[in-house]
Chains A and B, each alone.
Chain A
Amino acid sequence: MGSLFRSEEMTLCQLFLQSEAAYACVSELGELGLVQFRDLNPDVNVFQRKFVNEVRRCDEMERKLRYLEKEIKKDGIPMLDTGESPEAPQPREMIDLEATFEKLENELREVNQNAEALKRNFLELTELKHILRKTQVFFDETVPTVSYNTSSSTATFKSRWRYGRRQMADNQNEDEQAQLLGEEAGVRASQPGQNLKLGFVAGVILRERLAAFERMLWRACRGNVFLRQAMIESPLEDPSNGDQVYKSVFIIFFQGDQLKTRVKKICEGFRATLYPCPEAPADRREMAMGVMTRIEDLNTVLGQTQDHRHRVLVAAAKNLKIVRKIKAIYHTLNLFNLDVTQKCLIAECWVPVLDIETIQLALRRGTERSGSSVPPILNRMQTFENPPTYNRTNKFTKAFQALIDAYGVASYREMNPAPYTIITFPFLFAVMFGDLGHGTLMALFGLWMIRKEKGLAAQKTTNEIWNIFFGGRYIIFLMGVFSMYTGLIYNDIFSKSLNIFGSHWHVNYNKTTVLNNKHLQLNPSTVDYEGEPYPFGMDPIWQVATANKIIFQNSYKMKISIILGVIHMIFGVSLSLHNHTYFKNRNAVLYEFIPQLVFLVMMFFYLALLMFIKWNRYAATNSPPYSAGCAPSILITFIDMVLGNTPKTPLEGCESYMYAGQSLFQSLFRFIALCCIPVMLLGKPLKIIQARRQANRQNLTGATSDAEVGMTNGTAGGGAGHGGGGDNHEEEELSEICIHQGIHTIEFVLGSVSHTASYLRLWALSLAHAQLAEVLWNMVLSIGLRQEGWTGGIMLTIVFAFWAILTIGILVLMEGLSAFLHTLRLHWVEFQSKFYKGTGYAFQPFAFDQIIENGGTPAVEGAE
């Protein structure tokens, strides 16, 4: 029966696969995910195995696919993850796949190259377009700006240019150059020998280089060139890396060829791209038109290239999984042994006994698919090795099992603490986290994650914190619900109490008493208290009892945590009985389980019992010796019991003992508990010595029946390593057994004291949580509430938002985390140390789901 209480029964199987059918069979097993293969050639180098070649080819395909994937991601094409995974193709299809990927890759490379060239072209054209547009502005703009004197013979180059510009603007229909020349000639007639040709270059430069460029030009040409620039507002795409860059258009006017070469060199140095810019406005206009049409053409071409690239990529997106599967199959085949005839492969694998049927079915399917006639043979083998631990989990139990496995994977067929943890974990957490408000918030968060489970699981994120929260959604939900319950018990909702049933305490003081006294007490022995407790949880009156609320709650919570702890530990010890009976370990039942249980019950369950007796017997309304004042301290009573002290003389009219014969019972219990220690210490070793002697004697007489001895010794070994064979139990040293038993005993006896004390963390954390909640309310939310007048509403809105964020951040997240960790410790150390060894190793089946999810190479290590 597959249950959560113990791990699955496993068996080692030998699998004979016909060479042709091996691939298909392993593929089927991979879909099933129930088989863990062992490496049968651990000494063989990875490069010397049989299917190295195929693995290499898969690697090559994977590399190509990774390239394609990268391109897909770059384009932002959604990779359709339909959740279904295609079956691994036949080995003969591998060549086709390889060819397809080769083609795809080449095609993509080509497309990419073309696209880049096209983009470069596009960039040039766009830049040219901008140049034409901007320079038009330069040529047009100067008319109104200049007041200029024609007769000035000392006009600077600049004003000369301006003049020229003005003329150009005035006579747009004429040839500018000619006009300019003519004009210049007119003005400069008195200065012969000067080169009157005014030339210009136009280009585009990166905006951040512009300042340096300008200064360089100025210095290199001694101020004899004139530079105009304008920013291109929209960013341009750099074709080589796809970045968005900002550029500026510039135009430089100069005179003479020398300057021209100099300017061109500087442009080159600054990586500015120069474009031919016709001088006549008509030409420019024509060119602009031409550029525009070319840009449009290019745009359509680019769009088509993009579409083509898109199609290529989409076609590639779904192939990734298949190749991973093929590779995993060949990796697995590499683990197998070839038999002498080379006709069949031999595999060894761990298999859950319950699933042998399904595995055989899968194998049959595999053979049918491969068209082979010889059925594969699945053979169960005898082994002395420890099988792996396999706990079948579902989405609910998975998180709890993970908590247990984080401490240590259970030994094979050991009691699995996970099912009990499902209840005790949220409960102990809630004892520390008890607050109705915070619990509600946590439960709502958990509930939301559970309701949106499918959608949230589909969007796989790498955010580790989110994944932890999401993985533990059922734990979070349960912790929240349990915290709501304990919050009701503690009567705390954001540190305030709810008065649902009406307090059972009443104030009977008259007005003058109330007015004249600072501190007033309600006496439970009078009519102040109804005599019946509040129906559910803490009485809300304690909310206003500022003087002794904490004192009262401390006493209550401390006792509760010890009682819960003792019950939890006794439960743990009784679980060890199930382990001992399952492994037929009679000695452990007699000399470990029984004395442990007796010790725990005699000492610590008695302590818990004393608390109940005290609660039951003593009341304020009783008369001495059972009045409130006479109630003895449980702690002192317990210390006296352990040390054998006679209690101090009680107060007048009281008694030092709670019930008749307490002293006698306590001495008896102490005696029994003490007697348990030597039994734990010596019982098992003595029994083993005796059994060995007997076995030796029988060996001498010839009758060999050491099966039973082997059994008892085997479990005595406990956590010691189980190597290969079963025979080395016999050789286990007696001294080792004794030392082991001694450590175990000391650990238990001292542990039961310290573990009981350790459960006090339930009290400490719950107190801290309640106090922190109260402080937060008084320090933050009260500010908003204590505002006088109508502005309070607005103030309250702001303060409430602060308080809400702090509540989530500090009380729910941080306190929740701390309570979670303490609960985890209580389970790992205090609870599991009573019965859990956790020396097993996990079952890692060969499953495609996991391989695809992890994306890496499959875990192929064998049982070792």
Chain B
Amino acid sequence: MKICGPKLSLCGLIISVWGIIQLVLMGLFFYINSVALIEDLPIDEEFNSVEEFYTAATSAYNQNAYNCWIAACIYVLTLLLSAQQFYVNSRATAN
């Protein structure tokens, strides 16, 4: 079954591969609480105590790590989809 053309499937292929690699790595970095990524956490600016901040930050880090991995998994799906489409398209042009 053909859904998208050769260019779109190639684009999907490239972005999926890139997305899988980068998002898996980013998930890893969130998981080990990388300081460089602290600005990208969904947490408030103000906290009353240090402990409160730590718990919020840790849970946000973990949440973001899982979100990254979820996104990576979705990209695995799009990778499979675009790979199949790419295959269909290349078959179509070969014939």
Residues of A within 8 A of B (CB): 496-497, 499, 511, 514-515, 540, 543-544, 778, 781-782, 784-790, 792-794, 796-797, 800-801, 804-805
Contacts and interface: CB of A to CB of B under 8 A. Distances in A.
A788 B73 CA distance: 18
B39 A793 contact: no
B90 interface: no
B36 A496 contact: yes
Most buried by B among A497, A514, A784, A785: A785
A514 B47 CA distance: 12
Nearest to A799: B71
A801 B19 contact: yes
A514 B38 CA distance: 16
A792 B40 contact: no
B18 A804 contact: yes
Contact of B35 (A544, A778, A793): A544
A435 to B, nearest CB: 14
10 contacts: A499-B34, A511-B50, A540-B36, A544-B36, A785-B40, A787-B67, A790-B70, A793-B66, A793-B67, A794-B74
Given A782-B40, A785-B40, A796 B23 contact: yes
Interface of B: 15, 18-19, 22-23, 34-42, 50, 63-64, 66-71, 73-75, 78
Given A499-B34, A794-B74, 19 more contacts: A514-B50, A515-B50, A543-B35, A778-B39, A785-B41, A787-B42, A787-B67, A788-B63, A789-B63, A790-B70, A792-B64, A793-B68, A793-B70, A793-B74, A796-B68, A796-B70, A797-B74, A797-B75, A800-B22
A496 B22 CA distance: 13
Contacts of B71: 784, 793-794, 796-797, 800
B40 A801 contact: no
A69 to B, nearest CB: 23
Nearest to A789: B63
A794 B40 contact: no
Most buried by A among B15, B39, B50: B39
Nearest to A495: B36
Contact of B37 (A496, A790, A796, A797): A496
Contacts of B37: 496, 785
A513 to B, nearest CB: 12
Contacts of A790: 66-67, 70
Contacts of B38: 544
Nearest to B48: A515
Contacts of A787: 42, 67
Nearest to A791: B67
The secondary-structure label for the interface of chain B is helix
Give 4 closest A-B pairs by Cβ, nearest first. Answer: A793-B70, A792-B67, A785-B40, A796-B71
A629 B39 CA distance: 32
B19 to A, nearest CB: 5
A499 B38 CA distance: 14
Contacts of A786: 40-42
A497 B22 CA distance: 14
A254 to B, nearest CB: 50
Contacts of B41: 785-786
Contacts of B74: 793-794, 797
Most buried by B among A778, A797, A804: A797
A796 B68 CA distance: 7
A781 B39 CA distance: 11
A793 B38 CA distance: 18
A786 B22 CA distance: 17
Nearest to A544: B35
Nearest to A496: B36
A800 B23 CA distance: 9
A293 to B, nearest CB: 32
Contacts of B67: 785, 787, 790, 792-793, 796
Nearest to A546: B39
A788 B70 contact: no
A540 to B, nearest CB: 7
A241 to B, nearest CB: 27
Contacts of B78: 797
Contacts of A784: 71
A501 to B, nearest CB: 14
Contacts of A789: 63
Nearest to A807: B18
A782 B43 CA distance: 13
Nearest to A792: B67
B23 A788 contact: no
A353 to B, nearest CB: 50
Nearest to A498: B36
Nearest to B38: A544
A181 to B, nearest CB: 58
A782 B15 CA distance: 18
A635 to B, nearest CB: 33
Contacts of B15: 801, 804-805
A699 to B, nearest CB: 76
A778 B38 CA distance: 12
Most buried by A among B19, B66, B67: B67
Contacts of A797: 19, 70-71, 74-75, 78
A543 B67 CA distance: 23
Contacts of B69: 793
Nearest to A785: B40
A171 B12 CA distance: 65
A544 B36 CA distance: 7
B84 to A, nearest CB: 18
A782 B41 CA distance: 8
Contacts of B70: 790, 792-794, 796-797
A789 B62 CA distance: 11
Most buried by A among B36, B50, B78: B36
Contacts of B64: 785, 792
A794 B19 CA distance: 13
Nearest to A805: B15
Nearest to A437: B22
A640 to B, nearest CB: 42
B43 to A, nearest CB: 9
A781 B26 CA distance: 12
A591 to B, nearest CB: 57
A743 B50 CA distance: 70
Given A785-B64, A787-B67, A789-B63, A497 B36 contact: yes
B26 to A, nearest CB: 8
Contacts of A800: 19, 22-23, 71, 75
Given A511-B50, A796-B23, A800-B23, A543 B36 contact: yes
B73 to A, nearest CB: 8
A88 to B, nearest CB: 36
A781 to B, nearest CB: 8
Nearest to B74: A797
A28 B79 CA distance: 54
A268 to B, nearest CB: 45
A797 B38 CA distance: 20
A767 B71 CA distance: 31
Contacts of B40: 781-782, 785-786
A813 to B, nearest CB: 14
Contacts of A788: 42, 63
A782 B39 contact: yes
A511 B52 CA distance: 13
B62 to A, nearest CB: 12
A137 to B, nearest CB: 35
Nearest to B78: A797
Most buried by A among B35, B69, B78: B35
A148 to B, nearest CB: 51
Nearest to A540: B36
Nearest to B25: A493
Contacts of B23: 796, 800
Nearest to B12: A801
A804 B19 contact: yes
Contacts of A499: 34-36
Nearest to A777: B40
A580 B76 CA distance: 63
